[in-house]
Amino acid sequence: MEKYTTCSVCGASILEKCAIEENGKILCGDCVVKDTNKDVAKAEKIAKEKRDHAYEQERRAIALKQKKRAILLFIVALIAFAIVQILMQINQPEPVKRETIDFSNKLPVAQSLINIGIYKYSADNQKLPATLNALYPLYLPAGVDIAFAYFSYKVIDDNSYALEIIHPETSPDTESELDEK
């Protein structure tokens, strides 16, 4: 005859040969499964917490690496910018020096500039200028007007003119002085 025993947890009647003894308690199969499921759930919860913790640590490590790279890249960019600024400061060209030319001593140069000015004036106005003063300041650079005293300008017809250098000793001012004597 078969002997029956009672489950310590649920009180169910079970065959003695089917009973499981655990920690001094006699358990039925259902209670063992329930207890095992609780242990599995606890183990899964602990494993999930460990995975989440490991994931969070890895995410923080990656974020820290990215921050370090960003800071390093920023520092490299600042250094490169500083080097470029220093090189630009060192290689800065000297300002162009303005030089004033005394055209009364360089009459052939002044004559060439006046001829160019007459050409520009006639291109803009379709006629020759009546006097050399009509060329300054739009058609001639500064200082050329000082040399006008050393030139004889005469319009011959609509398309031609005569521009001659008067000898510096016989400029219009000195000619009038010679005539008075």
pLDDT tens, 48-62?
Answer: 999 999 999 999 999
Domain presence at residue 162: yes
Of 63-77, 96-110, 117-131, the range with the lowest mean pLDDT is 96-110
Distance CA 53, CA 59 (A): 10
Which residues form the domain of 21? 4-87
Higher pLDDT, 94 or 131: 131
Structural domains in the chain (count) = 2
Residue 111 and residue 83 share a domain: no
Domain presence at residue 173: yes
Q: H/E element holding 161?
A: strand 160-165
Residue 71 and residue 35 share a domain: yes
Domain presence at residue 170: yes
Reply yes or no on whether the pLDDT at 66 is more than 90.
yes
- Tell the residue number behind the tokens 């000793």, with chain if given: 169
Residue 119 and residue 46 share a domain: no
Two tokens at 60? 């923080």
Residue 161 and residue 125 share a domain: yes
What is the SS3 assignment for 145? Answer: helix
Distance CA 48, CA 67 (A): 28
Distance of CA 98 to the CA centre of its chain: 33
Distance CA 172, CA 177 (A): 9
The secondary structure of residue 38, as a DSSP letter, is H
Distance CA 79, CA 12 (A): 81
Summarised one tens digit per residue, pLDDT across range 131-161 is: 988 988 888 888 888 888 888 899 988 888 9
Residue 164: C-alpha distances to residues 8, 70, 145, 161, 167 (Å): 137, 74, 15, 10, 9
Residue 112 and residue 52 share a domain: no
Domain presence at residue 100: no
Residue 82 and residue 8 share a domain: yes
End position of a domain, from candidates 87, 121, 139: 87
Domain presence at residue 21: yes
Distance CA 48, CA 42 (A): 10
